[in-house]
Chains A and B, each alone.
Chain A
């Protein structure tokens, strides 16, 4: 074996940059887990933050890494939520962790089936298709009210203890620890995924699908894969909501939920995995705090903060405008492509 050249040694280091842990990441997770002991009377809202963070992470996988803009991501959240609630209610899978995995897999199947609709067309098409899928699923859930409880929601769900040992208590202590561990495990998986050749290929597809094809990347296959994975994540997030509240209702599919999710991710920033997590913390804390101050007008403040942050935070602004810039770039190269053909 010959000795690697100096450039090869540098390359070996440089290529691992994405896989390397930043010190702040340790701080983040230590802070998150210490909340189990330090903030015991906040566990109910922290539970909401945890599943919302996972849901936003799911959107980041497709928006931040593959450039797929979706306004119907609640479709998979909803499927996961109903799946988890139904599995528990009918005693099909009573152990919550197994049921959660099953809920994620069911959402992934729906994600896989609808991913092919997301391959066609540009961003606006995808936006509308994703919106449509969520609406259709919501109406299906409404229609089959024998199964889903319709507009009243799915009542009478009783949750068994996690792993047969940890009961969902009314203060949400175990529920929060459960959600946080699920979030952490799935975050680690996402992090690993995005540091792989597959993750790099996704970024290349997002940056320039034309060239990605020109170096032999099967763009459609990559998009189908990540969309399916993201649907799994969203399904698990929905499952966590259903399990921690022992309830599921039609609003899991609502347009508001998808739109809020986009807001959460945009507040936190796309394409570095922590955006959804940080955005979920900010969004929920603000919602909680502002709802106390001005119960009816809290969305006003969220909107105001969003506008101010975008106008003032120059550095972060680049991240927020990324979907828009991606759209602009893509329209740009399409226009150029047309020009070249002449």
Chain B
């Protein structure tokens, strides 16, 4: 298997706090790979390092053979790595239609066009429509994002990332805060992703983790605690201890 994304000896320190501690991790192309760990284990920091929202203190990040350690966030997106956020990060003044259209335009390289009315490129509207249909956003496509119900916003959060046609998709707790009855919509949309897309999932909900992932890495205190096939990690008593300890503390 080829490696889509890997880090070597990645370290991030905030003052005296080491949020990411010497992480060397590999995500294989087409993998369904979950990152789990108790609160404060450094999962989101790791995602922020991978996507360029934070600069690492030391270590390297390689995406499909390209060293992207110093690349800007937007360059990483162009190279095919896209993320979603734990807390929705949307554009309040734009509609879902415009949001998805914008992401597609950027991907196609039309995003800087300033003398063409948006939505007049051939094929664009069909592509937008397909994504809106897939994420059940067609009925609210012209509503301002800021007034959408939370479940729809959550779907849009993921739809925008899909519109970027990622090769590596990082999902930060995609189902967080979504009521049970809407949860399957999000999960089925993730399950329906093409097989060649590498998906890295950060999740607290163990049902989702085991339903979805083939491989699991456990982060504790910023470092990789253990890693292996999902079934093996599930049986590991130390992993249970980490999580039980966490729940007793909470």
- The residues of A with any CB-CB pair to B shorter than 8 Å are 4-5, 7-12, 14-19, 192-193, 195-201, 203-204, 206-208, 210-219, 221-222, 225, 271, 329, 333, 336, 340-342
Contact = CB atoms under 8 A, between A and B. Distances in A.
Nearest to B137: A7
A215 B102 contact: yes
15 contacts: A7-B130, A8-B128, A196-B115, A196-B116, A197-B105, A199-B114, A200-B94, A200-B118, A203-B91, A207-B92, A208-B90, A213-B73, A215-B161, A215-B164, A340-B44
Interface string B48-77: 100111100000000000000000111001
A98 to B, nearest CB: 22
B124 to A, nearest CB: 8
B74 to A, nearest CB: 5
Contacts of B53: 210, 213-214
B138 interface: yes
B160 A5 contact: no
Interface stretch (B79-87, B187-195, B206-214, B236-244): B79-87
A11 B141 contact: yes
A4 B124 CA distance: 11
Nearest to B39: A342
A203 B93 contact: yes
A289 B149 CA distance: 48
A18 B117 CA distance: 9
Contacts of B111: 197-198, 201, 216-217
Interface in B28-57: 40, 44-45, 48, 51-54
B107 interface: yes
B133 interface: yes
Contacts of B119: 11-12, 15-16
**What is the interface of chain A mostly: helix, strand, loop, or mixed?**
helix
Interface in B100-159: 101-103, 105-107, 110-120, 125-126, 128-130, 132-133, 138, 141-142
A29 to B, nearest CB: 19
A197 to B, nearest CB: 5
A198 to B, nearest CB: 4
B98 interface: yes
Contact of B112 (A198, A208, A329): A198
Contacts of B183: none
A196 B118 contact: yes
A216 B107 CA distance: 7
A14 B97 contact: yes
A15 B110 CA distance: 15
Nearest to A204: B91
B107 A18 contact: no
A183 B52 CA distance: 42
A185 to B, nearest CB: 15
A214 B77 contact: yes
Given A5-B126, A214-B82, 20 more contacts: A7-B132, A8-B128, A8-B129, A8-B130, A11-B141, A15-B125, A16-B118, A196-B115, A200-B101, A210-B53, A210-B85, A210-B89, A211-B85, A211-B89, A211-B160, A214-B89, A215-B161, A216-B77, A216-B78, A329-B92
